[in-house]
Structure 1
Amino acid sequence: MSVKDHKWNVAFKSLALAFISYSIAFILYSISEVSDKKSKFAYATEYLDKQKQRLAYTSLFVNTVFYIDGDKLNKIYHESGKYGLNAYIYPISGKKSEFEGKEETIISSIIYAFGNMNSFIGKENSLIYYRSYENEGKLISFSRLEGFQVNEHMFSQERCQMYNLCSPYATKESLSDRLLVSSIYSDIITGSKTITLSSPVIDQGEVIGDISADIYFDASILAQEASISSRDQGGMNYIYVDYPQYPMGELSFRSSYVIDNKSTLVFELPISKLIFDTVPIFFLSLVVSLFATIHYMQYKIQKKRFSEVYEESNRDEMTGLYNRKVFSTPEFLSDALNQTLAILAIDGNKLKKINDTYGHHCGDAAIKHIAEAMKGVFRDSDYIVRAGGDEFLVILPGCPAPRVVELKEKLKKEVERKKVRPYNMEVSVSVGIAFKKPEEDMEYALIAADENLYLDKADPSEEAESLGRAC
């Protein structure tokens, strides 16, 4: 592999590993984030639901007070003083800062209805108050509003209709469930993004006030980092808590909650936000993957080189066959331990005469000729060993005796069939066979194979008879 190919290989593997790691991290992060947002959405909608129920209950109670006798009304006045709730009157600038008309009765009834709900009234992300439309209007809060002043614009028809705030300007359909939900607007008191839930107080068929709860979505755990907006779609008021700054907003995890018959709260978490949030994880994964891949590739190269060096140390330099060191390798020891081995001791005939007559270069060519013939006859899984000089050993794991004899004869024919190049010499070999069972010693089997080798040199029939006795 060229250096360029190696670099591309490292880059591809690093990128693939980084992508897999990032995908796992993205899925886990997305599951966690979606679960967290859904939990916060459930908390926010539960809070809205409780506000709705309390406002509706209080409104119904206040509306019944107009029809009860004086004794019961006095009891309400008396009981309401026990709850420690105060009413703070904020009239339109220049108007009287005192109860007028039925305002005192209404406020006492509200406090009586709230009872011990101080925690509900004092929530940091909401404000509970009564909006009176009697005598030009005023706002009566159950929490002190420092420096706050009511102006006529707060009660104007234009503002009320713009944000769907005031029951006198609402349609009958909007008030069919005794709840009016505003669109999102900036609160005059706090400047926060706010929705107002209002439930009307009605006397003789006329709306004289609203019991209202301002809910500050900027302070809501649902709205952290999100944008809040209202959209009128088909006559319905949709309040969106979403992330418009992220692309492909249509691919989002969505949750919705119906506030009333005209308003729905929608929360959208776009997949693109999750991707942007986890981009640093991808780059971190890429760096770690590149580092790991480089070290792994280096380890593989070093392991391959070590394996090649180790393999070469077990090989005969001239023929490429194993040398005797192979008998100490884990692979050979495992084969020798677990199964019967057939052992062939092989010797070149009259190679000493060739060396003496024609020189060692001719003898070396004859040895290589025998080695090539052996490679063609035996399996890759067999151990073909040059024991030294013109002496060879072949170890055949799990080979049956009849097949061993066939291979012996095939080897002899293969060696004799071809002449040694380039000297055009004829060479032959003698072969001795022995068998080693798993529990037997290797050295004794090698000695037996050598003895049968010399029998084959002297008289092949004697070696065959000896082999028959051995088998």
Structure 2
Amino acid sequence: MNLRNVSLSFFIATLLFVTSVVTIGAVVFSYENKQFRSYVEGLSKVKQQVILLGLLTESQLDQHQNSSAESIESQTSLSFRDAIYSLDSSKKLNYVEAVARKVFHEAEQYLSNVYKDTASVLYFRSYTGNKLIVERPVEGLENNKSAFDLEVCKENISCAKEAWKGQLTDRVLFSKPFKSSSTGEYALSVMSPVYHHGELVGEFSTQMHLTALYQEGKAVKSIINNGNKQLIIYFPGYPWTHFSYTQSYMADNNNLVVYQYPFSKLLVDYSYLYVIFFIVAFAYFSKAHESNQNKMQLANALTDVTKDELTGLYNRRLFKDNTFKNRLAEASYSVMAIDGNRIKKINDCFGHHVGDDAIAIIAESMKKVFRNSDYLVRTGGDEFLAILPSCSESQASVLAKKLQGVVKDNRLKALDIEISVCTGLATSEEHEVLEDVIIRADEELYEMKKRRD
């Protein structure tokens, strides 16, 4: 596994993941903000409804205070099927309960949407007769004493009677989240007290079931912070919850509803994207690396075709290379024909392996003298060419003498044989082809060898 590809893949995957999470987060937080506004709107409506029912009941209690419970019941037109649950076996209503039931039914024409919400239950709790008047029959409430247990009310703050001083000044009370004894579902109660002659006689309450919220993976908890109660809607099971997108709503004078969406939820829920990005990036870089390797191998193969195996210099195939041809077409150049002296005699006397060593010495000397941009060619046996782009004949002449000196200094040490070369120079003329320049260089080389001999 290529470490560079892995590192690049991690970097690209991280970059794409962060970008994706930021983009997704913007969409998610916009949606969650709408969700929270929906929760707030629902709580506000419920709060207004129970307060309104409480005030209407107080007004009716004062208005009909000279009437009996029987008289009030006879005036009550039942507009829906309600249910009455009592701590004892008697379901006979007292005056307060009769008035509350009358208000319950009369308000239906104004608050009909309240009675149609299956996710909540609206009821009147009587403290004068230990009864519950519920908007509809609820399975599990019959003979359920825990529904009237003030200790349960106190624990969950689900009864106005157990509220401490100051909690009811704004006529509304929010309970802790609790498990309903009748349905077994998690719920939250919103209550408004009913007073008569300065005494708490009952309360209207809406028990809101939180099942849908829990099904969305959320939960509700209650904490006390600086003396105030906070109802926190949150996503359980995620780390670093103190780093959260947060919204809040002041539900009453003592309750702050806080909505938390932890940033870690985005990282955890969409972590699979990181894996996908990494796999795709790694596959891409691996394929690119493989492609580059293939190109390099092809380039090396092509280079090997144009290189002489013994010396590492170019061979005659170089002359067919388009890059080489284009380079020579750009400007004038000089050609130096080089020929090793008495190499055949060395072969005959000492063997071809010694002759090869002599040829290698000439090639190494050429590499030392000429530029990296020059083309050094072994044309065969002990014959060489140095093709020197943008090099004048005078400069080439200096290089020829330098080459002869370097070759001479590099003797065959094992046998103490001196190696030498002859050179011939020619500089290209306008519109002259390479073959003609080489011929002229060879002719000068031939003349030099004649003078040496």
TM-score by length of 2: 0.76
Distance 2:340 2:373 in 1: 27
Alignment partner, residue 6 of structure 1: none
Q: Distance in 1 between matches of 2:320 and 2:203?
A: 97
The residue aligned with 1:346 is 337
- Report what 2:38 is aligned to: 46
Kindly report which structure 2 residues correspond to 1:440-451, keeping only aligned pairs within 5 A, or say none. Answer: 440=431, 444-451=433-440
Three-state SS of the structure 2 residue aligned to 1:102 is helix
Match runs of 1:185-196 below 5 Å: 185-196=178-189
Change in CA separation of 1:11 and 1:191 when aligned onto 2, cut-off 3 Å: farther
**Deviation string, structure 1 residues 407-458 (Cα, Å, up to 9, x no partner):** 3443344334544554522413213232377xx57xx133124314423653
Map 1:66-465; keep pairs closer than 5 Å.
86=80, 88-93=82-87, 94-96=89-91, 100-114=97-111, 118=113, 121-124=115-118, 126-133=119-126, 135-146=128-139, 148-149=141-142, 151-220=144-213, 224-243=216-235, 245-246=237-238, 248-250=239-241, 252-258=243-249, 259-270=251-262, 277=269, 302-329=294-321, 331-333=323-325, 335-336=327-328, 339-348=330-339, 350-351=341-342, 354=345, 358=349, 361=352, 363-399=355-391, 403-421=395-413, 422-435=415-428, 440=431, 444-455=433-444, 457-458=446-447
What are the ranges of 5 or more consecutive residues in structure 2 without an aligned counterpart? Answer: 64-75
TM-score (norm 1): 0.74
2-side partners of 1:346 and 1:240: how far apart? Answer: 92
Q: How far apart are 1:187 and its partner, in Å?
A: 1.4
The answer to whether the 8 A contact 2:407-2:421 is kept is yes
8 Å Cα contact 1:130/1:211 also seen in 2: yes
Distance 2:392 2:200 in 1: 108
Task: Calculate percent identity across the aligned residue pairs.
Answer: 22
For residues 312 and 243 of structure 1, the distance between their equivalents in structure 2, rounded to whole angstroms, comes to 66
What residue number does 2:20 align with?
28
Letter in 1 for 2:339: G
- The separation in 2 between residues aligned to 1:168 and 1:23, in whole angstroms, is 57
Unaligned runs of 5+ in 1: 1-8, 71-79, 461-471
Distance 1:267 1:336 in 2: 76
SS at match of 1:196: strand
CA drift of 1:264 comes to: 2.7
Cα offsets for 1:373-394 (capped at 9, x unmatched): 2100122232211122333233
For 1:399 and 1:448, the matched residues in 2 are separated by 14
Deviation at residue 224 of structure 1 after TM alignment = 2.5
Once residues 122 and 403 of structure 1 are traced to their aligned partners in structure 2, the CA distance between those partners, rounded to angstroms, is 104
**C-alpha displacement of 1:14:** 3.8
The Cα of 1:186 is off from its aligned counterpart by 0.3
Residues 245 and 263, structure 2, Cα contact 8 Å, conserved in 1 = no
**Count of residue pairs brought into register by the alignment:** 430
Task: Confirm or deny: 8 A CA contact 1:185 1:193 kept in the other structure.
Answer: yes
Distance in 2 (alpha carbons) for counterparts of 1:356 and 1:128: 113
Cα distance in 2 between the residues matched to 1:385 and 1:85: 110
Moved more, 12-21 or 177-186: 12-21
- Cα root mean square deviation, aligned: 4.1
1:166 Cα deviation after fit? 1.9
Pairwise CA distance, 1:244: 5.0
Amino acid across the alignment from 1:342: Y
Q: What SS does the corresponding residue of 1:194 show, helix, strand or coil?
A: strand
1:324–1:387 contact (8 Å) kept in structure 2: yes
Cα contact 2:374–2:387 (8 A) shared by 1? yes
Q: d(CA) in 2 for partners of 1:223 and 1:286?
A: 32
Change in Cα spacing, 1:65 to 1:38, as seen in structure 2 (3 Å) is: same
What SS class does the counterpart of residue 314 from structure 2 fall into? coil
In the aligned structure 2, how far is the partner of 1:155 from the partner of 1:276? 44
Deviation of the 1:121 alpha carbon = 4.2
For the residues of structure 1 that align with 2:261 and 2:46, how far apart are their CA atoms? 30
